[in-house]
Amino acid sequence: MHWVFEPGFFSSQPVHVAVVVGGVVAVVSGVVGVFTVVRGQSFAGHTLTDVSTAGGSGAFLLGLNPLLGFVGIGVVGAGTMDLIGVQRVRGRDLATGIVLGAATGLAALFLYLDTTERATTGATQQILFGDIFIVDPSTIPVVVIFSVIALGAVAAIYRPLLLSSMSSDIAAAQGVPVRLVGLLFMLALAVSVGLSSLAIGSILSTALLIGPAATALRLTRRVGSAMVVASVIGVGATWLGVLLAYDSFYWGSSQQSLPVSFFIVMVTFALYLASGLPVVQTVTGRRASDRPTEEEPRSPHS
């Protein structure tokens, strides 16, 4: 087995922290990611990663836990996007773009100050691309609390959110407060992006949010099962990435580990590509059972 798990993998404390934090974060990203993809809010999700960059680099400057910066400013950014944006899709994209620009500008300033004033050249690398091996163990309870909040919010608004993702007209007619439900989801999305920024870096957090969810949506026919599959894929990719990064220290002769975020993102990407293979689609029954019957021979699509 030692050629799979290199020496010290199971006794290493950074590995323990990475497995716990990565696992929890991947579950949140999977659940929130499915709704993000289904609602067509990937752009908003990506913008929140840039907002997170500003928050993380700002927290670094102030000597705070970066997670607080990631999540805190993400929630503010999500609220701002919702305030500016109207319910129309174009208004929403516009608001998202405006917030994106402002956040990236702030991030540029904070990262500049981080590297000049505090002379920590590692800050940029750590905030943008993350390093789950250096997450402080004391952060774990905070990660769990934020995760429970995000998952709890999605569970609470599950049905109205599903209905308004389907059609806001139908939802409104049925009495769903469409605007409020949309705002609550944006806040859950901000928390989720903040968590994955901690795990794999703010720039890469989109990959953990969208990748497993998009893969799961190819393989399932229900939102609920897509969430389960996305979580499993996310956790699997994260843990495999942690293992590969740990092992990479022993590859070659350079005695240096490669970035863990790189491995997580690449495993996620490979799984997405694999899910598109015809053989996978057939095995999961997605193709075969999509149209169980050929009703209505007169319909133009049949």
Name the residues that contact another protein, by CB under 8 A. Answer: 38, 155-160, 162-163, 165-167, 169-176, 217, 220-223, 225-226, 289-293, 295-296, 298-302
d(Cα 108, Cα 111) in Å, to the nearest integer?
Answer: 5
Q: Which is nearer to another protein, 17 or 186 (CB)?
A: 186
- Closer residue to another protein, CB minimum distance, 160 or 259: 160
| Structure tokens that stand for 79 in this block | 């609220």
**Complex with another protein: residue 88 or 298, whichever CB lies closer:** 298
User: Whole-number minimum distance, CB 232 to another protein, in Å?
Assistant: 16
Q: Least separation, in Å, of the C-beta of 154 and another protein?
A: 9
* Minimum gap (Å) between residue 248 Cβ and another protein: 36
Minimum separation from the CB atom of position 49 to another protein (A): 23
The nearer residue to another protein, 136 or 169, going by C-beta atoms, is 169
Tokens linked to 294? 């050929």
Closest CA to 79 of 247, 191, 227, 238: 191
Q: Which is nearer to another protein, 134 or 180 (CB)?
A: 180
CB atoms within 10 A of CB 93: 16
**Do residues 230 and 110 touch, judged by C-beta distance below 8 A?**
no
Distance of CA 163 to the CA centre of its chain: 23
Residue placing its CB nearer to another protein in the complex, 278 or 300: 300
Amino acid in position 178 = V
Nearest approach, Cβ of residue 289 and another protein (Å): 7
Contact 169, 94 (CB under 8 A): no
- Shortest distance (Å) from residue 225 CB to another protein: 8
Nearest to 73 by CA among 208, 197, 213: 197
Q: How buried is 202 (Cβ within 10 angstroms: 0-12 exposed, 13-18 middle, 19+ buried)?
A: buried
Q: The tokens of 135 are what?
A: 């997450």
CA gyration radius for the chain?
20
Closer residue to another protein in complex, CB, 223/266: 223
Contact 164, 179 (CB under 8 A): no
Distance of closest approach, residue 96 Cβ to another protein, in angstroms: 20
Using CA atoms, how far residue 294 sits from 107, 186, 289, in Å, is: 55, 39, 11
